[in-house]
Homo-oligomer: A and B are copies of this chain.
Amino acid sequence: MFHFTATVTCLAILFYFFTTIRVGKARSTFGIKAPTISGNPDFERVFRVQMNTLEWMPIFLPSLWLFAIYISDPIAAVLGLVWIAGRILYMTGYSQAANKRGLGFGIQALAAFALLLGALGAIVWRLIHA
A interface residue numbers (CB < 8 A to B) = 1, 3-4, 6-7, 9-10, 13-14, 16-17, 20, 33-38, 41, 44-45, 47-48, 50, 54-55, 57-59, 61-63, 66, 69-70, 98, 101, 116, 119-120, 123-124, 126-127, 130
Contacts and interface: CB of A to CB of B under 8 A. Distances in A.
**Interface secondary structure of A, over-half rule:** helix
B123 A3 contact: yes
A3 B63 CA distance: 14
A116 B13 contact: yes
B127 A3 contact: yes
Nearest to A113: B17
B13 A63 contact: yes
